Amino acid sequence: MAATIIDGKALAAKCKARIKEEVEHLSKRPGLAVIIVGDNPASRIYVNHKKKDCAECGIYSEEYALPECARQEELLELIDLLNGREDIDGILVQLPLPAQFDEKAVLNAIDPGKDVDCFHPYNVGQLMIGEHTFLPCTPAGVMAMLDEYGIDPAGKHAVVVGRSNIVGKPQAMLLLQRHATVTICHSRTPNLAEITRQADILVAAVGKTGLITADMVNEGAAVIDVAMNRNEEGKLCGDVDFEAVKEKASFITPVPGGVGPMTRVMLLENTLTAAKVHGK
Ligand SMILES: Nc1nc(=O)c2c([nH]1)NC[C@@H]1CN(c3ccc(C(=O)N[C@@H](CCC(=O)O)C(=O)O)cc3)C=[N+]21
Protein backbone atom coordinates (compact mmCIF):
# COMPACT_ATOMS: atom_id res chain seq x y z
CA MET A 1 0.00 0.00 0.00
CA ALA A 2 1.21 3.49 -0.77
CA ALA A 3 2.42 5.60 2.13
CA THR A 4 0.61 8.48 3.78
CA ILE A 5 2.40 11.63 2.68
CA ILE A 6 3.26 13.83 5.65
CA ASP A 7 2.20 17.36 4.78
CA GLY A 8 4.78 19.64 6.37
CA LYS A 9 3.28 22.72 4.81
CA ALA A 10 -0.17 22.11 6.26
CA LEU A 11 1.21 21.29 9.69
CA ALA A 12 3.40 24.40 9.56
CA ALA A 13 0.36 26.56 8.80
CA LYS A 14 -1.47 25.07 11.77
CA CYS A 15 1.50 25.64 14.10
CA LYS A 16 1.94 29.21 12.87
CA ALA A 17 -1.69 30.00 13.66
CA ARG A 18 -1.14 28.79 17.23
CA ILE A 19 2.11 30.76 17.59
CA LYS A 20 0.39 33.91 16.28
CA GLU A 21 -2.35 33.47 18.86
CA GLU A 22 0.19 33.06 21.66
CA VAL A 23 2.17 36.09 20.51
CA GLU A 24 -0.99 38.20 20.68
CA HIS A 25 -1.31 37.36 24.37
CA LEU A 26 2.21 38.50 25.33
CA SER A 27 2.79 41.87 26.98
CA LYS A 28 5.42 42.77 24.36
CA ARG A 29 6.23 41.57 20.86
CA PRO A 30 8.99 38.97 20.52
CA GLY A 31 11.93 40.14 18.41
CA LEU A 32 14.26 38.17 16.14
CA ALA A 33 17.47 39.47 14.58
CA VAL A 34 18.67 37.64 11.48
CA ILE A 35 22.23 38.16 10.30
CA ILE A 36 23.25 37.24 6.77
CA VAL A 37 26.80 37.62 5.49
CA GLY A 38 27.59 37.68 1.79
CA ASP A 39 25.34 36.90 -1.14
CA ASN A 40 24.74 33.17 -1.18
CA PRO A 41 21.47 32.96 -3.17
CA ALA A 42 20.06 30.07 -1.13
CA SER A 43 20.75 31.96 2.12
CA ARG A 44 19.00 35.01 0.69
CA ILE A 45 15.86 32.97 -0.07
CA TYR A 46 15.88 31.33 3.37
CA VAL A 47 16.31 34.65 5.18
CA ASN A 48 13.44 36.17 3.20
CA HIS A 49 11.28 33.20 4.24
CA LYS A 50 12.18 33.76 7.89
CA LYS A 51 11.24 37.44 7.75
CA LYS A 52 7.90 36.61 6.13
CA ASP A 53 7.21 33.89 8.74
CA CYS A 54 7.88 36.37 11.56
CA ALA A 55 5.58 38.97 10.05
CA GLU A 56 2.81 36.37 9.71
CA CYS A 57 3.03 35.53 13.40
CA GLY A 58 3.37 39.05 14.77
CA ILE A 59 7.06 38.63 15.61
CA TYR A 60 9.22 41.70 15.10
CA SER A 61 12.25 40.95 12.92
CA GLU A 62 15.35 42.84 11.90
CA GLU A 63 17.76 41.86 9.18
CA TYR A 64 21.47 42.66 9.14
CA ALA A 65 23.10 42.04 5.77
CA LEU A 66 26.90 42.19 5.96
CA PRO A 67 29.04 42.18 2.83
CA GLU A 68 30.93 39.06 1.73
CA CYS A 69 34.20 40.74 2.77
CA ALA A 70 33.02 41.62 6.32
CA ARG A 71 35.46 40.95 9.13
CA GLN A 72 34.98 38.61 12.07
CA GLU A 73 35.30 41.50 14.57
CA GLU A 74 32.52 43.39 12.84
CA LEU A 75 30.20 40.43 13.15
CA LEU A 76 31.17 39.82 16.79
CA GLU A 77 30.51 43.48 17.61
CA LEU A 78 27.06 43.26 16.04
CA ILE A 79 26.25 40.10 18.00
CA ASP A 80 27.41 41.78 21.18
CA LEU A 81 25.12 44.72 20.53
CA LEU A 82 22.16 42.44 19.86
CA ASN A 83 22.93 40.36 22.97
CA GLY A 84 22.37 43.51 25.01
CA ARG A 85 19.12 44.63 23.40
CA GLU A 86 15.91 44.02 25.30
CA ASP A 87 13.68 44.14 22.25
CA ILE A 88 15.63 41.30 20.61
CA ASP A 89 14.85 37.84 22.02
CA GLY A 90 16.49 35.69 19.36
CA ILE A 91 19.61 35.99 17.22
CA LEU A 92 20.18 33.85 14.13
CA VAL A 93 23.36 33.93 12.09
CA GLN A 94 22.57 32.33 8.75
CA LEU A 95 25.04 29.58 7.84
CA PRO A 96 27.27 28.96 5.98
CA LEU A 97 29.51 31.95 6.67
CA PRO A 98 32.21 33.04 4.19
CA ALA A 99 35.56 31.27 4.62
CA GLN A 100 37.31 34.04 6.62
CA PHE A 101 34.95 33.52 9.57
CA ASP A 102 35.53 31.24 12.50
CA GLU A 103 32.06 29.74 12.69
CA LYS A 104 32.57 28.23 16.13
CA ALA A 105 33.68 31.54 17.63
CA VAL A 106 30.70 33.30 16.06
CA LEU A 107 28.16 30.80 17.43
CA ASN A 108 29.87 30.95 20.82
CA ALA A 109 29.37 34.72 20.91
CA ILE A 110 25.57 34.50 20.81
CA ASP A 111 23.94 34.78 24.24
CA PRO A 112 22.71 31.20 24.94
CA GLY A 113 19.41 32.75 26.06
CA LYS A 114 18.96 34.19 22.55
CA ASP A 115 20.29 31.18 20.65
CA VAL A 116 17.09 30.28 18.79
CA ASP A 117 18.98 27.88 16.47
CA CYS A 118 20.15 25.87 19.50
CA PHE A 119 23.70 25.85 18.10
CA HIS A 120 25.57 27.26 21.15
CA PRO A 121 27.59 24.59 23.02
CA TYR A 122 25.70 25.44 26.23
CA ASN A 123 22.37 24.67 24.60
CA VAL A 124 23.76 21.59 22.88
CA GLY A 125 24.87 20.39 26.30
CA GLN A 126 21.46 21.15 27.79
CA LEU A 127 19.93 19.08 25.01
CA MET A 128 22.20 16.14 25.84
CA ILE A 129 20.98 16.10 29.46
CA GLY A 130 17.36 16.77 28.55
CA GLU A 131 17.29 20.21 30.17
CA HIS A 132 16.97 22.27 27.02
CA THR A 133 14.93 25.44 26.60
CA PHE A 134 15.43 25.78 22.87
CA LEU A 135 14.70 23.06 20.37
CA PRO A 136 17.10 22.26 17.54
CA CYS A 137 14.86 23.50 14.70
CA THR A 138 15.07 20.77 12.08
CA PRO A 139 15.06 17.78 14.48
CA ALA A 140 12.21 19.33 16.49
CA GLY A 141 10.28 19.86 13.27
CA VAL A 142 10.67 16.16 12.54
CA MET A 143 9.39 15.23 16.02
CA ALA A 144 6.34 17.48 15.56
CA MET A 145 5.58 15.69 12.29
CA LEU A 146 5.84 12.27 13.93
CA ASP A 147 3.50 13.42 16.72
CA GLU A 148 0.98 14.92 14.34
CA TYR A 149 0.72 11.64 12.41
CA GLY A 150 0.56 9.46 15.53
CA ILE A 151 3.98 7.88 15.05
CA ASP A 152 5.22 7.20 18.59
CA PRO A 153 9.00 6.61 18.70
CA ALA A 154 8.80 4.68 22.01
CA GLY A 155 10.15 1.17 21.60
CA LYS A 156 10.83 1.66 17.89
CA HIS A 157 14.13 1.33 16.12
CA ALA A 158 14.99 4.77 14.73
CA VAL A 159 17.86 4.94 12.25
CA VAL A 160 19.36 8.37 11.59
CA VAL A 161 21.58 8.58 8.52
CA GLY A 162 23.90 11.56 8.96
CA ARG A 163 25.83 12.84 11.98
CA SER A 164 25.97 16.60 11.57
CA ASN A 165 25.85 18.85 14.62
CA ILE A 166 22.75 20.62 13.30
CA VAL A 167 20.64 17.62 12.28
CA GLY A 168 21.91 14.06 12.76
CA LYS A 169 23.24 14.30 16.32
CA PRO A 170 20.42 16.38 17.84
CA GLN A 171 17.86 14.27 15.97
CA ALA A 172 19.23 11.15 17.61
CA MET A 173 18.97 12.85 21.02
CA LEU A 174 15.32 13.85 20.56
CA LEU A 175 14.38 10.36 19.39
CA LEU A 176 16.24 8.89 22.35
CA GLN A 177 14.36 11.19 24.75
CA ARG A 178 11.17 9.75 23.33
CA HIS A 179 12.38 6.22 24.08
CA ALA A 180 13.36 5.05 20.62
CA THR A 181 16.31 2.72 20.17
CA VAL A 182 18.56 4.87 18.03
CA THR A 183 21.24 3.97 15.52
CA ILE A 184 23.31 6.70 13.86
CA CYS A 185 24.82 5.83 10.49
CA HIS A 186 27.16 7.91 8.35
CA SER A 187 29.50 7.92 5.37
CA ARG A 188 31.84 5.38 6.98
CA THR A 189 29.09 2.90 7.83
CA PRO A 190 29.99 -0.14 5.70
CA ASN A 191 26.67 -2.00 5.75
CA LEU A 192 24.29 0.95 5.48
CA ALA A 193 21.41 -0.86 3.72
CA GLU A 194 21.50 -3.68 6.23
CA ILE A 195 20.94 -1.19 9.06
CA THR A 196 18.42 1.09 7.35
CA ARG A 197 16.30 -2.00 6.58
CA GLN A 198 15.89 -2.49 10.34
CA ALA A 199 14.40 0.97 10.82
CA ASP A 200 10.84 1.56 11.93
CA ILE A 201 11.63 5.26 11.65
CA LEU A 202 14.25 6.25 9.09
CA VAL A 203 15.62 9.80 9.04
CA ALA A 204 17.79 10.70 6.06
CA ALA A 205 20.02 13.71 6.66
CA VAL A 206 23.06 13.32 4.45
CA GLY A 207 22.63 15.62 1.47
CA LYS A 208 23.12 13.03 -1.28
CA THR A 209 20.38 12.74 -3.89
CA GLY A 210 19.13 9.18 -4.39
CA LEU A 211 21.01 7.79 -1.38
CA ILE A 212 18.00 6.01 0.10
CA THR A 213 16.55 3.56 -2.42
CA ALA A 214 13.50 1.32 -1.93
CA ASP A 215 15.59 -1.79 -1.21
CA MET A 216 17.02 0.01 1.84
CA VAL A 217 13.60 0.57 3.42
CA ASN A 218 11.63 -1.86 5.56
CA GLU A 219 8.01 -2.43 4.56
CA GLY A 220 5.85 -0.10 6.67
CA ALA A 221 8.66 2.19 7.89
CA ALA A 222 8.12 5.92 8.46
CA VAL A 223 10.63 7.71 6.23
CA ILE A 224 11.65 11.30 6.98
CA ASP A 225 13.75 13.15 4.43
CA VAL A 226 15.62 16.11 5.88
CA ALA A 227 17.90 16.84 2.92
CA MET A 228 17.69 19.91 0.66
CA ASN A 229 19.60 18.96 -2.47
CA ARG A 230 19.40 20.35 -5.99
CA ASN A 231 19.33 17.79 -8.80
CA GLU A 232 20.81 18.28 -12.32
CA GLU A 233 17.79 20.35 -13.35
CA GLY A 234 18.17 22.57 -10.30
CA LYS A 235 15.06 21.11 -8.71
CA LEU A 236 14.91 20.80 -4.92
CA CYS A 237 15.04 17.15 -3.82
CA GLY A 238 15.94 15.05 -0.79
CA ASP A 239 18.06 11.97 -0.12
CA VAL A 240 15.17 9.54 -0.59
CA ASP A 241 13.98 8.05 -3.89
CA PHE A 242 10.50 9.32 -3.12
CA GLU A 243 8.50 7.64 -5.91
CA ALA A 244 9.84 4.15 -5.21
CA VAL A 245 10.01 4.43 -1.41
CA LYS A 246 6.45 5.72 -1.04
CA GLU A 247 5.19 2.34 -2.29
CA LYS A 248 6.89 0.61 0.62
CA ALA A 249 6.77 3.04 3.53
CA SER A 250 3.78 3.70 5.81
CA PHE A 251 4.60 7.41 6.04
CA ILE A 252 6.92 9.59 3.98
CA THR A 253 7.83 13.29 3.85
CA PRO A 254 8.13 15.06 0.50
CA VAL A 255 10.85 17.56 -0.47
CA PRO A 256 9.84 20.35 -0.78
CA GLY A 257 6.82 20.62 1.49
CA GLY A 258 8.06 18.31 4.23
CA VAL A 259 10.65 19.06 6.89
CA GLY A 260 11.68 22.50 5.50
CA PRO A 261 8.53 24.38 6.48
CA MET A 262 8.61 22.74 9.94
CA THR A 263 12.21 23.85 10.49
CA ARG A 264 11.04 27.40 9.99
CA VAL A 265 8.15 26.96 12.42
CA MET A 266 10.52 25.79 15.14
CA LEU A 267 12.53 28.99 14.78
CA LEU A 268 9.33 30.94 15.51
CA GLU A 269 8.54 28.62 18.40
CA ASN A 270 12.00 29.20 19.90
CA THR A 271 11.67 32.95 19.47
CA LEU A 272 8.34 32.83 21.30
CA THR A 273 9.93 30.73 24.08
CA ALA A 274 12.81 33.21 24.38
CA ALA A 275 10.37 36.12 24.67
CA LYS A 276 8.52 34.32 27.47
CA VAL A 277 11.78 33.59 29.29
CA HIS A 278 12.64 37.27 28.91
CA GLY A 279 9.41 38.14 30.74
CA LYS A 280 7.33 39.29 27.78
N1 LIG B 1 21.65 29.57 11.26
C2 LIG B 1 20.99 28.80 10.40
N3 LIG B 1 19.82 28.23 10.77
C4 LIG B 1 19.13 27.45 9.90
O5 LIG B 1 18.05 26.92 10.26
C6 LIG B 1 19.64 27.24 8.58
C7 LIG B 1 20.85 27.87 8.25
N8 LIG B 1 21.51 28.61 9.18
N9 LIG B 1 21.39 27.71 7.02
C10 LIG B 1 20.70 26.98 5.98
C11 LIG B 1 19.79 25.92 6.54
C12 LIG B 1 18.72 25.46 5.57
N13 LIG B 1 17.46 25.73 6.20
C14 LIG B 1 16.23 25.58 5.58
C15 LIG B 1 15.04 25.80 6.23
C16 LIG B 1 13.82 25.70 5.59
C17 LIG B 1 13.76 25.38 4.26
C18 LIG B 1 12.45 25.33 3.56
O19 LIG B 1 11.48 25.89 4.02
N20 LIG B 1 12.34 24.66 2.41
C21 LIG B 1 11.12 24.61 1.62
C22 LIG B 1 11.40 25.00 0.18
C23 LIG B 1 12.16 26.26 0.01
C24 LIG B 1 12.58 26.49 -1.42
O25 LIG B 1 11.74 26.34 -2.31
O26 LIG B 1 13.77 26.78 -1.65
C27 LIG B 1 10.54 23.22 1.63
O28 LIG B 1 11.27 22.27 1.92
O29 LIG B 1 9.37 23.07 1.30
C30 LIG B 1 14.93 25.14 3.59
C31 LIG B 1 16.14 25.22 4.25
C32 LIG B 1 17.70 26.35 7.38
N33 LIG B 1 19.00 26.47 7.63
The answer to whether 239 touches 212, Cβ cutoff 8 Å, is yes
Low-confidence ranges of the chain (pLDDT < 70): none
Q: Is 137 in the pocket of ligand 1 (CB under 6 A)?
A: yes
Q: How far is the CA of 137 from the centre of ligand 1 (A)?
A: 10
Q: Is 228 in the pocket of ligand 1 (CB under 6 A)?
A: yes
Tell me what pLDDT residue 177 has. Answer: 98
Tell me what pLDDT residue 1 has. Answer: 76
Q: Is 255 in the pocket of ligand 1 (CB under 6 A)?
A: yes
Phi, psi of 61 (to 5 degrees): -135, 150
Report whether 258 belongs to an annotated binding site.
Answer: no
Q: How far is the CA of 36 from the centre of ligand 1 (A)?
A: 13
Tell me what pLDDT residue 56 has. Answer: 98
Domains of the chain, first to last: 30-114 (3.40.50.10860), 136-260 (3.40.50.720)
Q: Is 65 in the pocket of ligand 1 (CB under 6 A)?
A: no
Residue closest via CA to ligand 1's atom 25 equals 256
Crossing angle of the two packed helices 137-148 and 8-24, in degrees rounded to 10: 110
Report whether 61 belongs to an annotated binding site.
Answer: no
Q: Is 260 in the pocket of ligand 1 (CB under 6 A)?
A: yes
Tell me what pLDDT residue 266 has. Answer: 98
Q: Is 207 in the pocket of ligand 1 (CB under 6 A)?
A: no
Tell me what pLDDT residue 2 has. Answer: 93
The answer to whether 44 touches 94, Cβ cutoff 8 Å, is no
Of the chain, the end-to-end C-alpha distance in Å amounts to: 49
CA–CA gap between residue 202 and residue 172 (Å, rounded): 11
Residues 6 or more apart whose Cβ sits within 8 Å of residue 89: 30, 31, 32, 114, 116, 271, 274, 275, 278, 280
Pocket test for ligand 1, best of 103, 255, 263 (most atoms within 8 A of CB): 263
pLDDT one-digit tens code per residue, 54-103: 999 999 999 999 999 999 999 999 999 999 999 999 999 999 999 999 99
Q: How far is the CA of 207 from the centre of ligand 1 (A)?
A: 13
Crossing angle of the two packed helices 259-277 and 8-24, in degrees rounded to 10: 20
Residues 6 or more apart whose Cβ sits within 8 Å of residue 47: 34, 36, 63, 94
Report whether 250 belongs to an annotated binding site.
Answer: no
Q: How far is the CA of 212 from the centre of ligand 1 (A)?
A: 21
Active site residues: 50, 94, 117
* Stated pTM of the model: 0.98
